[in-house]
């Protein structure tokens, strides 16, 4: 049976090529919103972090109606760090819209997301977006996309991809670049014509693979997936086949489909429909819902392994418990375990009762979790990111990344030098003719930890880099993480202008007068290789004696304020970042100076 009244598609692209903006226009032009309804931009980016950073972090479902056909749309992230979100929804759709910027062309993450779609056997439609940009070069971009398809070994059907030219911002699409763009009709018609409709026997036993998890504080966990076989009814009994093949009898309390941006309750759904089910408290991604009379599990979702790990631990600083609502190891463990239920690319290992190792796809992947927990009121400490090594008969293997860099030509030499120090090997160097140099390197993943801020400084903010996981290779040798030590608070108290004035002669400061500090807290970056203890709480002695010039005001340099990512990049192996809802502090693992020195000697 074919469901001609349904199409299931995912929108995939490199970061910032306009996926979420295009979905906005598809929702508007399809009549999903009322004519007088006020709709904010990037309406699909509902998470506060997504709106602040202008990126998509979680894949999300929506649906529109066009010519009596329901088009289920999944908006996906572009960052490779959130690749788990892309991988798991590939089983939920029958085709993809591959968005490519009309100026930039295919980029590193374009390759990553397209590779996942082609491997799953999905039918692509290529959308050349942002064709109204002055520097747009759509014809050349199509040739580059075709080269990428051939390189990724697309089959003959996938190579015959249709092309749509669009402007997500202006809200139009067209089949030929010379045509006048009016609305999104050509895109909708192409989806109906080229994306296969779902197939399956609605009278056979139920088969539904759970590919996504949502949570509602009133109804609990919600499993989302596509019905590949059979029919599901509200209130029916079913069998849930877990990842370990264990079978559990369950009952479907509520059933939902997607209409626009909303989940709508329904009584029944059949083959090809993307639905959500509630009432199963511990339902997980990769599990299959089956009818009681025909229990057959579908292949589970294959997710790439994590490459980066960080330790999350209970905050034991002198300021512990001042600012957070959730501070105990039980709070921390419960929250991390809850994250693992929906974040399929993340794993956890319990090191001790107070320390948990979190394994993820990259620094951004884990830092988003840290920032989310911080906003929820959690207080904890995290260690420096470390790459995950593999021990084999050949020896120690480490994860390798392909690094794509675009820099002004005058900055290229310093970038090449810095990357070579970090054990990077140049693969390609290509001038663009516009003063920009494109560079490609193969570099150990650990060589990229802490490099982003240094890269932006070296390129005066004009450089861009992206990286993709390229597999494992032999250990490349030691890489020096930092060429500067830390300025460490000598005692606990409140920082004073006089103390900071003396300390800033030793390096760059991270704090200003009036900041509460404790012994072992990092208050700045040393100008030397080694750590230096400084007394930032020192006040000027008050006497009745006055000398000419002694009343001159202190000249304090403005402190460097680190973001969360910059803090994680800065710290050394013997340092931590203290995370609270109100503060991000850097500190030594061992706060006491004497104990720290003894530990270093050992």
Task: Please answer whether residues 594 and 580 qualify as being in contact, where contact means their C-beta atoms are separated by less than 8 angstroms.
Answer: no
Q: Which residues lie closer than 8 Å to 147 by C-beta, 6 or more apart?
A: none
pLDDT at 543: 59
- Answer whether residue 411 shows pLDDT above 50: yes
Give pLDDT tens digits for 147-184.
Answer: 888 888 888 888 888 888 888 778 788 888 887 777 78
Give pLDDT tens digits for 62-114.
Answer: 788 888 888 888 877 655 555 555 666 777 888 888 888 888 888 777 777 78
pLDDT at 80: 53
SS3 category, 504: helix
SS3 category, 230: coil
Task: Please answer whether residues 285 and 210 qualify as being in contact, where contact means their C-beta atoms are separated by less than 8 angstroms.
Answer: yes
> What does the pLDDT average to over 37-46?
41
390-474 CATH choice from 3.30.70.240, 2.40.40.20, 3.30.70.1350, 3.40.640.10: 3.30.70.240
Q: pLDDT category, 470, cuts 50, 70, 90?
A: confident
> What does the pLDDT average to over 233-258?
85
Of 245-249, 403-407, 510-514, give the range with the top mean pLDDT.
Answer: 510-514
- Per domain, the residue ranges of the chain are 6-194, 207-290, 312-338+349-383, 390-474, 486-601
To the nearest whole number, what is the mean pLDDT of the chain? 82
21 is in an annotated binding site: yes
Q: pLDDT category, 54, cuts 50, 70, 90?
A: very low
pLDDT at 16: 66
130 is in an annotated binding site: yes
Spell out the alpha helix ranges (H) of 155-227: 156-159, 185-194
Of 80-84, 167-171, 375-379, 431-435, give the range with the top mean pLDDT.
Answer: 375-379
- Answer whether residue 48 shows pLDDT above 60: no
- Decide yes or no: CATH 2.40.50.250 for domain 486-601: yes
Q: Please state, in angstroms and rounded to a whole number, the distance separating the CA atoms of residues 514 and 142.
A: 58
Q: Are strands 231-233 and 308-313 parallel, antiparallel or unpaired?
A: unpaired
pLDDT at 310: 92
Half-sphere exposure of 441 (CA within 13 A, CB side): 24
pLDDT at 453: 74
* Exposed / middle / buried, residue 426 (Cβ in 10 Å: 0-12, 13-18, 19+): middle
Q: pLDDT category, 546, cuts 50, 70, 90?
A: low
User: For tokens 């849930």, what's the residue?
Assistant: 240
3-state secondary structure 341-364: HHCCCCEEEEEECCEEEEEECCHH
Starting from the edge strand earliest in sequence, which strands make up the sheet with 207-216, in order? Answer: 247-251, 237-241, 288-290, 207-216, 220-229, 274-278, 254-259, 262-265
17 is in an annotated binding site: yes
Spell out the alpha helix ranges (H) of 316-472: 329-342, 363-375, 412-421, 452-458
Where is 227: in which H helix or E strand? strand 220-229
Q: Please state, in angstroms and rounded to a whole number, the distance separating the CA atoms of residues 135 and 103.
A: 6
Q: How far is CA 544 from CA 541, 547, in A?
A: 10, 10
Measured torsion, CA atoms of residues 332, 337, 341, 345, in degrees rounded to the nearest 10: 90
Task: Please answer whether residues 158 and 149 qualify as being in contact, where contact means their C-beta atoms are separated by less than 8 angstroms.
Answer: yes
* Exposed / middle / buried, residue 555 (Cβ in 10 Å: 0-12, 13-18, 19+): exposed
- More confident position, 62 or 289: 289
Where are the strands (E) in 84-160, listed by range? Answer: 95-101, 123-129
Q: pLDDT category, 570, cuts 50, 70, 90?
A: confident
Task: Please answer whether residues 229 and 270 qualify as being in contact, where contact means their C-beta atoms are separated by less than 8 angstroms.
Answer: no
CA-based end-to-end distance of the chain: 71
132 is in an annotated binding site: yes
Q: pLDDT category, 551, cuts 50, 70, 90?
A: very low
Q: Please state, in angstroms and rounded to a whole number, the distance separating the CA atoms of residues 252 and 205.
A: 15
Q: Please state, in angstroms and rounded to a whole number, the distance separating the CA atoms of residues 303 and 570.
A: 30
Counting residues of the chain whose pLDDT is more than 70, the rounded percentage is 88
Q: pLDDT category, 579, cuts 50, 70, 90?
A: very high
Of 12-26, 441-455, 501-515, minimum mean pLDDT range: 12-26
> Can you say whether residue 359 is alpha, beta or left, with left for phi > 0 and alpha for psi between -120 and 50 degrees?
beta
- Answer whether residue 203 shows pLDDT above 80: yes
Q: Are strands 521-526 and 584-588 parallel, antiparallel or unpaired?
A: antiparallel
> What does the pLDDT average to over 347-360?
91
Closest CA to 455 of 472, 471, 439, 478: 439
Q: How far is CA 169 from CA 24, 64, 114, 118, in A?
A: 9, 19, 23, 28
**Assigned token pair, 162:** 């249709």
- Answer whether residue 291 shows pLDDT above 90: no
- Answer whether residue 52 shows pLDDT above 60: no
Q: Which residues lie closer than 8 Å to 86 by C-beta, 6 or more apart?
A: 10, 12, 59, 76, 77, 112, 113, 116
Q: Is 486-601 the same fold as 207-290?
A: no
Of 74-78, 281-285, 510-514, give the range with the top mean pLDDT.
Answer: 510-514
Closest CA to 106 of 159, 160, 56, 144: 144
Give pLDDT tens digits for 4-16.
Answer: 888 888 888 776 6
Q: Which residues lie closer than 8 Å to 74 by C-beta, 6 or more apart?
A: 8, 9, 10, 11, 59, 60, 61, 89, 92, 93, 274
16 is in an annotated binding site: yes
Domain 207-290 class in CATH: mainly beta
360 is in an annotated binding site: no
Neighbours of 442 (CB within 10 A): 15
- More confident position, 115 or 588: 588
3-state secondary structure 280-313: CCCCCCCCEEEECCECCCCCCCCCCCCCEEEEEE
> What does the pLDDT average to over 30-52?
45
pLDDT at 79: 52
SS3 category, 317: coil
pLDDT at 544: 57
- Answer whether residue 512 shows pLDDT above 80: yes
Q: pLDDT category, 43, cuts 50, 70, 90?
A: very low
Task: Please answer whether residues 222 and 277 qualify as being in contact, where contact means their C-beta atoms are separated by less than 8 angstroms.
Answer: yes
Q: Which CATH superfamily is domain 312-338+349-383 in?
A: Elongation Factor G (Translational Gtpase), domain 3 (3.30.70.870)
User: What CATH fold (topology level) applies to the domain 6-194?
Assistant: Rossmann fold (3.40.50)
Phi/psi of residue 90, each to 5°? Answer: -60, -30
- More confident position, 548 or 553: 553
- Answer whether residue 302 shows pLDDT above 70: no
- Answer whether residue 24 shows pLDDT above 80: no
pLDDT at 181: 73
- More confident position, 385 or 115: 385
Counting residues of the chain whose pLDDT is more than 90, the rounded percentage is 14
- Answer whether residue 44 shows pLDDT above 50: no
């Amino acid at each position: 049976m074919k469901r001609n009244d349904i199409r299931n598609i995912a929108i995939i692209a490199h970061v910032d090529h306009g996926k979420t903006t295009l979905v906005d226009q598809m929702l508007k032009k399809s009549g999903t919103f009322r004519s007088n309804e006020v709709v904010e931009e990037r309406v699909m980016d509902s998470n506060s972090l997504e709106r602040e950073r202008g990126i998509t972090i979680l894949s999300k479902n929506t649906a529109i109606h066009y010519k009596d056909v329901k088009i289920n749309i999944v908006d996906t992230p572009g960052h490779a760090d959130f690749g788990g979100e892309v991988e798991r929804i590939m089983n939920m759709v029958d085709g993809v819209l591959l968005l490519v910027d009309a100026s930039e062309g295919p980029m590193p993450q374009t390759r990553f997301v397209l590779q996942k779609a082609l491997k799953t056997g999905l039918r692509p439609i290529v959308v050349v977006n942002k064709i109204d940009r002055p520097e747009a070069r759509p014809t050349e971009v199509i040739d580059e996309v075709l080269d990428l398809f051939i390189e990724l070994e697309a089959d003959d059907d996938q190579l015959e991809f249709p092309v749509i030219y669009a402007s997500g911002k202006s809200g139009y699409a067209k089949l030929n670049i010379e045509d006048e763009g009016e609305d999104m009709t050509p895109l909708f018609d192409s989806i109906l014509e080229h994306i296969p409709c779902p197939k399956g026997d609605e009278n056979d036993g139920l088969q539904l693979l759970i590919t996504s998890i949502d949570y509602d504080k009133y109804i609990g966990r919600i499993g989302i997936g596509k019905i590949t076989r059979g029919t599901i009814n509200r209130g029916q009994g079913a069998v849930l086949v877990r990842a370990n093949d264990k079978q559990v009898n369950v009952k479907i309390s509520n059933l939902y489909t997607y209409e626009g941006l909303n989940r709508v309750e329904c009584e029944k759904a059949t083959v090809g429909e993307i639905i959500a089910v509630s009432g199963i408290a511990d339902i997980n991604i990769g599990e299959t819902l089956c009818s009681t009379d025909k229990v057959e599990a579908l292949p589970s979702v294959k997710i790439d392994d994590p490459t980066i790990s960080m330790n999350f631990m209970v905050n034991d600083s002198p300021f512990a418990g001042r600012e957070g609502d959730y501070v105990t190891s039980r709070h921390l463990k419960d929250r991390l375990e809850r994250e693992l239920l929906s974040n399929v690319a993340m794993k956890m290992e319990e090191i001790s009762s107070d320390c948990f190792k979190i394994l993820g796809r990259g620094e951004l992947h884990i830092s988003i979790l840290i920032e989310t927990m911080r906003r929820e009121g959690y207080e904890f400490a995290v260690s420096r990111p470390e790459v995950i090594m593999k021990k084999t008969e050949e020896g120690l293997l480490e994860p390798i990344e392909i690094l794509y860099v675009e820099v002004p030509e005058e900055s290229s030499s310093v970038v090449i030098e810095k990357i070579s120090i970090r054990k990077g090997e140049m693969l390609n160097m290509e001038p663009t003719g516009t003063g920009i140099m494109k560079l490609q390197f193969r570099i150990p993943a650990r060589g990229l930890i802490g490099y982003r801020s240094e890269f932006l400084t070296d390129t005066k903010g004009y450089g861009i880099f992206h990286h993709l996981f390229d597999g494992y290779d032999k250990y490349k040798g030691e890489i020096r993480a930092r060429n500067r030590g830390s300025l460490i608070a000598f005692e606990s108290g409140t920082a004073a202008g006089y103390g900071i004035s003396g300390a800033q002669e030793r390096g760059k400061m991270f704090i200003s007068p009036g900041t509460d500090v404790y012994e072992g807290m990092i208050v700045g970056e040393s100008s030397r290789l080694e750590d230096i203890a400084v007394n930032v709480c020192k006040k000027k002695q008050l006497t009745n004696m006055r000398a000419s010039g002694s009343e001159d005001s202190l000249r304090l340099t403005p402190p460097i304020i680190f973001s969360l990512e910059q803090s994680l990049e800065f710290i050394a192996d013997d340092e931590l970042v203290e995370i609270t809802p109100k503060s991000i502090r850097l500190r030594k693992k061992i706060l006491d100076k004497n104990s720290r020195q003894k530990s270093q000697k050992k």
